[in-house]
Structure 1
């Protein structure tokens, strides 16, 4: 890495301050928080304002907020995001950490479509593959995504649909499925125990975009013989971490 330019670094430090609080700041507040000389703050703020990265807040003299140029850069970044590519990269990092299979899936009607999969280092047959469609009610990623739907939309997707069982453990009863989805909403994660594959269990967490909307789910899968309470807790934490990392890559900001 080459030498960092101090003035550019300070300019970015100023811009990043506006990601916190109500999104407005005055020059004295910037000076205090970054411990900069007042003249330096004034020059940097003036430059950022001249380039439309900052604009004065109407009816609040001396205060600034992010300008249209910052929005344009963020929008261009969002346009270039590829959920499948970002999901595959996060999945790869998780597999390197835990050695288990990781999936990223999206909801279509009442099914899930796997858009990214990175295999475990162990030799275990999985029913999934990137591009494959499975009934949402039989999978951890699917139940996670169904649980995030508004009640009316869930009703529409399940209306007239037979909940076909993939294994004896599949939730084929509508009332049992709805009870499970209620619990998932409370816990924030979904667990599947041999419901799509008699030899596999997994845990899934939601992935959000920059608007906060759930757009996918990420899961970690393990062979049933390695599924213990301790392992479940460990992989739940990893699934949440991975889903949160993918959410951040998609532009989501978690409340502090």
Structure 2
């Protein structure tokens, strides 16, 4: 049974924003599995509405996943409370905001509220995975993990550069994370997108554990004139969400 579940998980994990459709032959070749095995699994998933067959005979994720995703988001207090705080931020300050969680070497957007006049340099969507080593939310969450865990995550993994400002060496990242851990907020200073600066703060649960991070994204030319204010703004919003989740100040 476990082998079947593992195979299902492996196939589903190959779907992405860059690979929205997959074929039986393609999967069989990539995974070195018999076509009959791949076909049987996809047919079973299609019967549950988890994938659907396209007119070309390939497969894409089914609408059942959309339904499950909406159920997950609405049933998660962190997302509900985070959304409220982010909407307030955007309405009051006019800058886009993201809520992200850490998944191995990536920070995943689980909620986003975009300002109506958001700069076009900001291209993001719920479900997007950003490299944790150069995103504000990713670095914030990495900084609060045990060092040995961080080292295991990035052992023999290239820190890919996206801009000239991206950190590409593990010792430099370690120093950056140490500073973030000390001050309890993180920056992305044009490390992924040129011209865009982000600042993030942690969201903690009742045990004081950082379970997510919230960020605000600002064009660098605006951020430079109000850095302290943006830091205070996102830290205050993240703390309000943390308190809603049962966090007591100082319990970390």
TM-score normalised by the chain length of structure 1: 0.66
Contact 1:200/1:223 (CA < 8 Å) preserved in 2?
A: yes
Alpha-carbon deviation of 1:165?
Answer: 1.1
Structure 1 CA distance for aligned equivalents of residues 115 and 230 of structure 2: 13
Contact 2:205/2:211 (CA < 8 Å) preserved in 1?
A: yes
Alpha-carbon deviation of 1:85?
Answer: 2.3
Contact 2:106/2:132 (CA < 8 Å) preserved in 1?
A: yes
Structure 1 CA distance for aligned equivalents of residues 229 and 215 of structure 2: 13
Alpha-carbon deviation of 1:132?
Answer: 0.4
Q: Give the aligned partner of residue 156 of structure 1.
A: 152
Alignment of 1:166-205 (within 5 A): 166-205=162-201
Contact 2:96/2:118 (CA < 8 Å) preserved in 1?
A: no
Which deviations, in whole Å up to 9, do the C-alpha atoms of 1:152-199 show, x marking residues without a partner?
111111112110111111111111111111111111110111111102
Q: Give the aligned partner of residue 225 of structure 1.
A: 221
Structure 1 CA distance for aligned equivalents of residues 79 and 128 of structure 2: 14
Contact 1:127/1:197 (CA < 8 Å) preserved in 2?
A: no
Alpha-carbon deviation of 1:81?
Answer: 4.2
Structure 1 CA distance for aligned equivalents of residues 181 and 233 of structure 2: 19
Structure 1 runs, 4 residues or longer, greater than 6 Å off: none
Q: 2:144 aligned with 1:144, yes or no?
A: no
In our comparison, the structure showing a higher alpha carbon Rg is: 1
SS in 1 for 2:247: coil
Contact 1:144/1:204 (CA < 8 Å) preserved in 2?
A: yes
Q: Give the aligned partner of residue 210 of structure 1.
A: 206
Aligned Cα RMSD in Å? 1.7
Q: 2:95 aligned with 1:100, yes or no?
A: yes
Unaligned runs of 5+ in 2: 1-74
Alignment of 1:34-49 (within 5 A): none
SS in 1 for 2:212: strand
Structure 2 CA distance for aligned equivalents of residues 86 and 123 of structure 1: 22
Q: How many residues align?
A: 177
Unaligned runs of 5+ in 1: 1-79
Contact 1:202/1:220 (CA < 8 Å) preserved in 2?
A: yes
